[in-house]
Amino acid sequence: MRLLLFIILFVVLLPLFLIGVAIFTWRIRRVCVPQNISGTANEPYASRLFMHIAGSRIDDAGYKIAKYLPSYGGIVRFLIIDTTRLACKLSGYKGWMFSYPGPRPSTLATLMSHRSYFFDESIREALTRNENPATQFVVLGAGYDTRCYDLPEGSDINCFEVDMPPTLNAKKQALELAGVPHDHVTFVETDFNQETWMEALLNSGFNPNLTTYILWEGVTMYLVEEAVRDTFNLITTLPSGSAAGVDFFSKDLIEGNPPFERISKAMHRGIKYYSENLQFGIPTGKKLSAGIEELSKESGLTLTKFEHVGSEGDKLPPWYFFSHIEKH
């Protein structure tokens, strides 16, 4: 019944939504891409916005900054997000891509809620455990992630957001205009493919002797293998108890090996639209987690939690993996 009501309301609002999508698309190609502001950062961000407006996963800071971002700013937030919010609110619908933590096994439609939940839990565990909690929080490839603005109550944590300068500047400006407090966050500019983020962090006041949690969500697939290995080798230099949350696409998906030929082509094409490239995928073995376990082990780290989208019985084997990796 709720779904039916949502569909009816959404169809009524569809013209506004479509105008919003058209302006959004134009802005990505004509405003963001020419200035090297990440276009792909909008994808996970939009999923979190949709969960927020449905009331299933609250992200006040994310919603506030939307109004000032080059992609969703001004009228676009109203046309895409607020129209959908109205349909969700009047119908009470919170299913499908609006759900959180979402169903298991997750699907293509619910993979973002699965991903958000996995990393929310990974962060919560590292920052709030009684013994040796992390007191530094680093978000690598932060994009429009807002976890630093929604920390567990009472926590006194130094936060660092690392990304390339154009995306970081767009976000900083949006935070300022939206009045979201961000004094506890240090913004660090780097290019993972060119230089080590650790050097940039150290120059920005990062303390390598403190237990640290690193969120590296939605980034490895855009990097070259060397940059991924370098990052693992840097995480292992942090004190014991430090941890990282990292997601990977499978190597077979990235390379378009059978049975991923069609989906691989579609994904490469989709990402090219943002003028970005999918580059790195993790090998799988008899066990889906084999490649991540090996990569972690080679760097002196331990894989302690692993989940994947979909189920091993599906026609298309799982190709998207979430991992929590620790320095013991």
Ligand X SMILES: C[S@@+](CC[C@H](N)C(=O)[O-])C[C@H]1O[C@@H](n2cnc3c(N)ncnc32)[C@H](O)[C@@H]1O
Q: Which residues bind ligand X (CB under 6 A)?
A: 38, 40-41, 44-45, 141-145, 163-164, 167, 190-193, 217-219, 222-223
- Smallest distance from the beta carbon of 111 to ligand X, in angstroms? 12
Nearer to ligand X, 23 or 139 (CB): 139
Nearer to ligand X, 107 or 196 (CB): 196
Tokens of 23: 């302006």
- Smallest distance from the beta carbon of 57 to ligand X, in angstroms? 13
Q: Which residue is nearest to ligand X (CB)?
A: 143
Nearer to ligand X, 91 or 136 (CB): 136
Nearer to ligand X, 93 or 280 (CB): 280
Q: How far apart are the C-alpha atoms of 311 and 288, rounded to whole Å?
A: 11
- Smallest distance from the beta carbon of 25 to ligand X, in angstroms? 17
- Smallest distance from the beta carbon of 83 to ligand X, in angstroms? 22
- Smallest distance from the beta carbon of 88 to ligand X, in angstroms? 21
- Smallest distance from the beta carbon of 42 to ligand X, in angstroms? 8
Nearer to ligand X, 82 or 163 (CB): 163
